[in-house]
Chain A
Amino acid sequence: MEDTLVRDALRAYVAGGPPMGLTSRDILAAGRRARRRHTVRAVVLGSGAAAGVFGIAALLLPAVVPAFAPVGGGRGGAPDPATCAAIREASAYEQQKQNYTIPETSEAAERVTCYLMATLPRYFPSGTRFLDDPNRPGTAALVASPVADPTRDVARVELVREDPPHGDLTRYVSASAIVDDGAGAGLLFFAVAWEKDFDWKVAEYRCGPGSGTQCHTGPHGEHIEVYESGPDRLGVRVRTMHVHSPNTLIIATSVNAPAVDGVAATRAEPPLTLTELIEITTDLDLRLYP
């Protein structure tokens, strides 16, 4: 069958059709409604529950809320130092490649938590507070936990991309926190997953001319895609990156507001710079599946 015949057949198939029932007026109205619903949902999810109310109050009344104690504080499920010390390092998995074993999700979550709590404070001045993310009720600041629906989880903090991360993600864990370092409140989000069959060739296409994607190569050969957006009408700027290594996907997002949609920016820039995000996400200690 020749290509032109397929084209002609398909074009004939879609020719005609009933009169168009969609108008720009309807779409604009539906878009505005959807935006309002999304904003209301974000506020309700964030503030309707007691934890959410607490989170917002924390932003408004920071003196009332204690900062998290870095690893060992025993707050909100944070692993203690003994647990962190007992978790195998990434290099241990590297050495076992002949009999490669994948960390269980719970172990992966603990490792990510340990790493974030030990590492992130170094990037901020003393006195910086890491507060529970009101959009993730029931989770503590920077404490990673398994998430059943990675697509929804990532979409919550990324407005830049409509499509989910590529590849087959399993053992996905994520953590977030509201960070307040005196320059305003910002959102930090991190996710780590075992990524099977990442297609490096497709990644090249996503970085092609006109794609709007910044791509970098990390210090250990990682493929890094950076998406930056904003400021929008509320001044919100979203800086997010996907770091692919052969078996691990690491996602990191830094926002200059406590949420990505419907909340005004409280600081000029996202709390972590591009360079800092790359440094954190290419640290081999965070690469769970080398």
Chain B
Amino acid sequence: MPAHAWEADFAEYFTAHVAALRRLAYALCGDWHVAEDLTQTAFVKLYRHWRRVQRESVDAYVRRILVNTYLSHRRDRRREVVTEPPDGPASVSDADNRLDIGRALAALPAGQRAMVVLRYLEDLPVREVAMIMGTAEGTVKSQTARGVEAMRRALGVSTLTGEN
């Protein structure tokens, strides 16, 4: 139970955003269990800083924590589970497509992968991705273009164009 008003505020934010943040984490790491760990780590860090973060910038802040946590995790572990088919009902072709996309994402360098995911899954403008990654807009543009091109090559055209 929240002991303070600010904890209640934090808990409300957590409830509203945890699912989306876990999806972002999964897109980054390709493993639901690791994604949950990354998400938990990000929220625990956010908890420590909650009272100091301006409300209008919390979303960008927690994304930045998550991406940094993921990049640190990659550096520490030097390994990554390529992908894990999602639980729940899915058609064979859906599951195959997810597996392919997961492998194509996993083949990207970690930073490039983060930029592609932030740009296209989170639908963030280039400027915001640059802020989160601490890099220039031009770098984001070039890296996401390379990432998408690499995914296209890895997948063939079919998955991302709907051609089967």
Q: B44 an interface residue at 8 Å Cβ cutoff?
A: yes
Query: Taking the nearest CB of chain B, how far is it from the CB of A43, in angstroms?
Result: 16
Q: Which of A5, A162, A229 contacts B160 (CB 8 A)?
A: A5
A3 to B125: give the CA distance in the assembly, Å.
Answer: 13
Which residues from 219 to 275 on chain A have a C-beta closer than 8 Å to any C-beta of chain B?
229-230, 232-233
Q: Are A163 and B48 in contact (CB under 8 A)?
A: no
Q: Closest residue of chain A to B1, judged by CB?
A: A25
Which bucket holds chain B's interface residue count?
Answer: 35 or more
> In angstroms, how far is the closest chain A Cβ from the Cβ of B77?
18
Which residues of A162-176 are within 8 A (CB) of B? Answer: 162-163, 166
- Of the candidates A10, A163, A212, the one whose C-beta lies within 8 Å of that of B101 is A10
Q: Are B160 and A163 in contact (CB under 8 A)?
A: no
Q: Are B137 and A13 in contact (CB under 8 A)?
A: no
Bound CA span A231–B119, Å: 36
Residues of A within 8 Å of B54, CB to CB, are: 210, 212
Report yes or no: A202 in contact with B130, Cβ–Cβ below 8 A.
yes
- Using Cβ atoms and an 8 Å threshold, which residues of chain B touch A3? 120
A30 to B157, CA, bound (A): 45
Q: Check if B151 sits within 8 Å of A18, measured CB to CB.
A: no
Report whether A17 and B101 are in contact in the complex, using a CB–CB cutoff of 8 Å.
no
B161 at the interface (CB under 8 A from A): yes
B152 neighbours in A (Cβ, 8 Å): 1
**Contact string against A for B residues 66-109, beta-carbon threshold 8 Å, 1 for contact and 0 otherwise:** 00100000000000000000111010001001100110010000
**B47–A162 touching, CB < 8 Å:** no
Given A1-B161, A12-B101, also A30-B52 (CB < 8 A): no
Query: Measured between alpha carbons, how far is A230 from B52 in the docked complex, in Å?
Result: 7
Asked if A1 and B11 sit within 8 Å, CB to CB, the answer is: no
Q: Give Cα A229–Cα B64 distance, bound, in whole angstroms.
A: 19
Cα distance A285–B104 in the bound complex, in angstroms: 51
> By the criterion CB–CB under 8 Å, are A14 and B26 in contact?
yes
A210 to B54, CA, bound (A): 9
Query: Contacting B44 at CB < 8 Å: which of A11, A30, A159?
Result: A30
Which of A28, A202, A229 lies in contact with B131, CB distance below 8 A? A202
- Which A residues lie within 8 Å of B134 (CB)? 163, 166, 202
Q: Which of B108-164 contact A (CB under 8 A)?
A: 116-117, 120-121, 123, 127, 130-131, 134-137, 148-149, 151-152, 157, 159-162
Q: Mask for B16-40, Cβ within 8 A of A = 1, else 0?
A: 0011001110110000100110011
In the complex, the chain B residue whose C-beta lies closest to that of A212 is B54
Evaluate contact between B32 and A17: CB separation under 8 angstroms.
yes
Interfacial chain B residues near A35, Cβ < 8 Å: 47-48
Q: Looking across the interface, which residue of chain B has its beta carbon closest to that of A10?
A: B121
B68 x A202 contact (CB < 8 A): no
Partner of B52, one of A18, A32, A38, A159: A159
Q: A10-B117, A31-B44, A202-B130 are in contact. Are A22 and B22 (CB under 8 A)?
A: yes
A25 and B8 alpha carbons, distance in the complex (Å): 10
Q: Is A63 an interface residue (CB 8 A)?
A: no
Tell me if A9 and B10 are in contact (CB < 8 A): no
What residues of A have a CB within 8 angstroms of the CB of B102 in the complex? Answer: 13
For window 14-31 of A, CB contacts with B under 8 Å fall at 14-18, 20-22, 24-28, 30-31
CA distance A124 to B18 in the complex (A): 48
Contacts of A10 in B (CB 8 A): 27, 101, 116-117, 120-121
A49 sits at the interface (CB 8 A): no
Residue A92 interfacial (CB < 8 Å): no
- CB contacts (< 8 Å) of B161 on chain A: these are 1, 5
Instruction: Give the docked Cα–Cα distance between A223 and B10 (Å).
Output: 33
Q: A28-B47, A230-B52 are in contact. Are A12 and B131 (CB under 8 A)?
A: no
Known contacts A6-B148, A31-B43; is-contact A17 B26 (Cβ 8 Å):
yes
Among A6, A20, A162, contact of B18 (Cβ-Cβ < 8 Å)? A20
Partner-B contacts on A (CB < 8 A): 1, 3, 5-7, 9-18, 20-22, 24-28, 30-32, 34-35, 38, 159-160, 162-163, 166, 199, 201-202, 205-206, 210-212, 229-230, 232-233
